[in-house]
Structure 1
């Protein structure tokens, strides 16, 4: 988990790399040769391998564990129990917009999350995803506006792949299995963001208010940068639905969330959502001048019946 609020469509963890001044000697050279790759962010062999050519021109996301169809809206509710602030109610309304935005050379799909604590808007976030031709979903950045007492307080946790050394990461693997190693879901050193994830199970039965789901995928996320105080999160994904549940494991802030509503927006409702998300995108050029203002503006996607995606096995 990152230090920020947990989005119901995403992830978590972090590593702090401290580089000291080294005297070059034969002994130091030998030690460096034996040291692990500093880019192995979530453990040995987990360096991010980003290839822009792996993504199609149109950002359609059809991964069975992480489907993002424009016009779909998911409402989740739960609570956060904090050692500092006690228990707070939380509601997240996550909407897949009809917008696209080019980030780090890749056309991404825009998801708009509105996060409410005890009934008041606490965060409004634009998140950017794209799926490779083989079916792996990547997270390319986030623009999370923070609100205090109903007023915009800024967006200090904004990160965009390709800016300030931030890197896109894997939001969902194409074929997740328990034997695969942990993987970074995004890395942004300027805001101490590094989400790591590991598959725990692919055969869970989980019940939430929207129903009981079988063959559920369980992923655990951790944040080494925050130490034991951060704890870990378990996230549960159902085929063709996506994230349905979040549970805590240790940590000072323990969050439990359940999917309570799934809605397919009408064309007029989606048009309204697009308008509001575009307004936030435009606002970002003033609120986050050093990061977000460096990106191309989001636009309404052109409809097309052909995705340009290669066929794949969804087993």
Structure 2
């Protein structure tokens, strides 16, 4: 069907309206066209807005202060951006150089009698990234009456200010030379565990206690306090002056008592004694070794196997970490 052009009809109606306008004006009221009187300047009241008021502006939520787990002034102040890309731990009280091995020996006095102890502390050539920080891996092996009771990887890093931090531990336990598990594993950032201070950059007496690490999931809370300094003592390895004494305890286990750890500048831990508690533990530094490159290679491989085993044993904690890597193969010792 043919449709008429609507555009012509529209324009035609408008033209007709324009032609009729003069006649309309002629018949208009005589007052039409007169100017309206000027305003008196008084504005009419503005009606209130009927829009409902918006929601009140909320102040940002306050961040709760970090708990002072070891007393006033002990809140953990951890900043993962304050660490170098690669770990260098040269704090004079807590030096950790790959290829160094320290042996401490002593005993534990308990109601059941005396147990002989020997602990080897080896700084491996492994590193492990924890919460974005590359840590140095230390391997401790604890023997009681000649039998291995614990094989532990511990993870340390030194911040740019010189403070050494403990990021966690993976301790495998043994009974009668048989592996029984690693129930006390904790890693910073997993299950609420927090890194703590292993050694302050500039420890001083009469300063607040500090948290050495906190892992509520395994009941771990170590508190450190600079107890004394500038003392002299002798152990089987030798005599040391200017020794620093750190008092340590776990407030969650008051029956365990306190430990006193003695550190010599340039060497590190040289002695451990007990104050109170049901078990009295003492350890003395007896040997310091600088491993050869070949010995370090063996240590690295064994520690790497222990790290890999952790992924099978601790599926909820350790399996959520990055795998350790061999980053140092030269110890600087004799071939």
Q: TM-score range by the shorter chain?
A: 0.7 to 0.9
Q: What TM-score do the two structures reach when normalised by structure 2?
A: 0.78
Q: Deviations over 1:118-163 (max 9, x none)?
A: 0000000000000011110000000000001111100000000000
Other-structure match for 1:279: 305
Q: Give the match's secondary structure for 2:226.
A: strand
Question: Is 2:277 the counterpart of 1:263?
Answer: no
Question: Is 2:155 the counterpart of 1:128?
Answer: yes
Question: Is 2:178 the counterpart of 1:159?
Answer: no
Larger Rg: 2
Q: Deviations over 1:269-315 (max 9, x none)?
A: 000000000000000000111100000000011589xxxxxxxxxxx
Q: Give the match's secondary structure for 1:293.
A: helix
Other-structure match for 2:231: 204
Question: Is 2:255 the counterpart of 1:234?
Answer: no
Once residues 221 and 162 of structure 1 are traced to their aligned partners in structure 2, the CA distance between those partners, rounded to angstroms, is 23
Once residues 270 and 302 of structure 1 are traced to their aligned partners in structure 2, the CA distance between those partners, rounded to angstroms, is 9
Could you tell me how far 1:38 is from its partner in structure 2?
6.8
Give the 4+ runs in structure 1 shifted more than 3 A.
Answer: none
Q: Give the match's secondary structure for 1:280.
A: helix
Once residues 186 and 192 of structure 1 are traced to their aligned partners in structure 2, the CA distance between those partners, rounded to angstroms, is 11
In structure 1, stretches of 5+ residues that fail to align are: 1-35, 305-315
Q: Deviations over 1:79-123 (max 9, x none)?
A: 00112x221000001100000000121100000000000000000
Other-structure match for 1:77: 105
Could you tell me how far 1:213 is from its partner in structure 2?
0.2
Aligned pair partner of 1:50 in 71, 78, 86: 78
Q: Give the match's secondary structure for 2:90.
A: coil
Q: Give the match's secondary structure for 2:109.
A: strand
- Contact kept? 2:97, 2:123, Cα under 8 Å: yes
Other-structure match for 1:243: 269
Other-structure match for 1:183: 210
Once residues 105 and 54 of structure 1 are traced to their aligned partners in structure 2, the CA distance between those partners, rounded to angstroms, is 11
Report 1 or 2 for greater relative contact order, CA contacts < 8 Å, sequence distance ≥ 6.
Answer: 1
In structure 2, stretches of 5+ residues that fail to align are: 1-63, 331-335
Once residues 77 and 302 of structure 1 are traced to their aligned partners in structure 2, the CA distance between those partners, rounded to angstroms, is 28
Q: Report the number of matched residues.
A: 267
In angstroms, what is the RMSD of aligned CA positions? 1.4
Change (3 A) 1:276 1:134: same
Q: Give the match's secondary structure for 1:278.
A: helix
Question: Is 2:318 the counterpart of 1:292?
Answer: yes
Q: What TM-score do the two structures reach when normalised by structure 1?
A: 0.83
Could you tell me how far 1:226 is from its partner in structure 2?
1.1
Other-structure match for 1:9: none
Q: Give the match's secondary structure for 1:225.
A: coil
Once residues 48 and 185 of structure 1 are traced to their aligned partners in structure 2, the CA distance between those partners, rounded to angstroms, is 9
Other-structure match for 2:125: 98
